[in-house]
Amino acid sequence: MMIKPLRNTLMLAAGALLLAACGGGPAPQVADEPTARLEGPVVDQRWNLLLVGTDERLEMPERPHFVIDRDGRVSGSDGCNRLTGRAALGDNNRIAFSDLATTRRACPRAEDAARVTGMLENAYRYLIDHDRLVFFGPDQRVLGGWRRVD
């Protein structure tokens, strides 16, 4: 079963991030017209949701996912609705999502879809381990994990 290795990765990532995160600093600013194009391993990749928190899997009508393009635009799905917004990356693996919006289709899993959007809205830092992306909140709590789709 894959949950144990992923949980170990998340816990290891949380420990490493705690050590690296002591110097907080302000959140990266999300500009309407970014002056520099975004670069890095988070950008121009499709990320599919693996877990909420450290071990909860969601069964959604469609796979929650997102992509951040080089201009900072976010597109994807919360599992029920199309998702759009903006993202900024900063020093020390800082990340900030803003202007997140979703279509509001009727969905049997609307509460879980809101949790996916909430994870993005609350993401403060990230850590990448191979093909996995982990989001942490401002309190260094693991918000969830995503897997890169090749």
User: pLDDT tens for residues 132-146?
Assistant: 999 999 999 999 999
Question: Are the C-beta atoms of residues 134 and 145 closer than 8 Å to each other?
Answer: yes
pTM of the model: 0.78
Q: Which of 114, 94, 95 is nearest to 104 (CA)?
A: 114
- Residue type, position 55, single letter: D
- Give the model's pLDDT for residue 105: 79
User: pLDDT tens for residues 11-64?
Assistant: 444 444 443 444 455 555 544 444 468 999 999 999 999 999 999 999 999 999
The top-level CATH class assigned to 3-22+31-149 is mainly beta
Domain boundaries along the sequence of the chain: 3-22+31-149
DSSP state of 93: G
- Give the model's pLDDT for residue 32: 43
